[in-house]
Copies of this chain bind each other. A is one copy, B any other.
Amino acid sequence: MVNGVAETLTGQAGLLTELLTSAVEPHLKKVDISLSTFELLTAIRAAGGKAKQVDIARRLGVTPPSLCEAVKAAVGRGLVSQVVSPTDARAKTLRLSPKGHSTVRNILEAVNQAEREMVVGIDPDELQLTVETLRRVNRNLALSLSGSIP
């Protein structure tokens, strides 16, 4: 096996994201929100009320029509508001409503608690080193990825 450590590394990283998703799912179900809707809300939140729909679509990696439907549903549920841009009458900027804000905050609180529990009993320096190593791995991967596009 020429590749053992890297294999287990990706395996454990994948397992981590899978477990974290499992930890969040019950809280999403509790407020009857799908994972993709949650990602939409966090993307809007991260953009800070300054993003047009096309920007959010790019950030989420979906097409404008797909985002349009998702936004329509979120608006219908009172989580998001659309505002026509003052500087461009074609564009609509997205903002979280108060309800949307509190919903995201509640779910993120659950995520944070899972994150706190998962590092119990582990040396902070060791964690820091792990994060650094993952960063370097990701940089390598992103580089070899962008290099293979042409």
Residues of B within 8 A of A137 (CB): 16, 118-119, 122
Q: Once bound together, how far apart are the Cα atoms of A148 and B122, in whole Å?
A: 21
- Say yes or no for A12: interface residue by CB 8 A criterion: yes
Q: Given contacts A22-B145, A141-B20, are A136 and B122 in contact (CB under 8 A)?
A: yes
Residues of B within 8 A of A133 (CB): 122, 126-127, 129-130
A107 to chain B, nearest CB (A): 14
Residues of B within 8 A of A19 (CB): 138, 141-142, 145
A104 to chain B, nearest CB (A): 15
- Say yes or no for A87: interface residue by CB 8 A criterion: no
A30 to chain B, nearest CB (A): 13
Tell me how many chains of this kind the complex includes: 2
B131 touches A129 (CB 8 A): no
Which secondary structure dominates chain A's binding surface? helix
- Say yes or no for A15: interface residue by CB 8 A criterion: yes
**Residue interface bits A83-126, CB-to-B below 8 A is 1, else 0:** 00000000000000000000000000000101111111110101
Q: Given contacts A17-B17, A23-B145, are A9 and B140 in contact (CB under 8 A)?
A: no
Q: Given contacts A17-B13, A17-B17, A131-B12, are A6 and B140 in contact (CB under 8 A)?
A: no
Nearest chain B residue, comparing its CB with the CB of A1: B112
Contact sample, A vs B, 9 pairs, CB 8 Å cutoff:
A5-B128, A6-B119, A10-B16, A10-B115, A12-B135, A16-B141, A118-B137, A118-B140, A121-B136
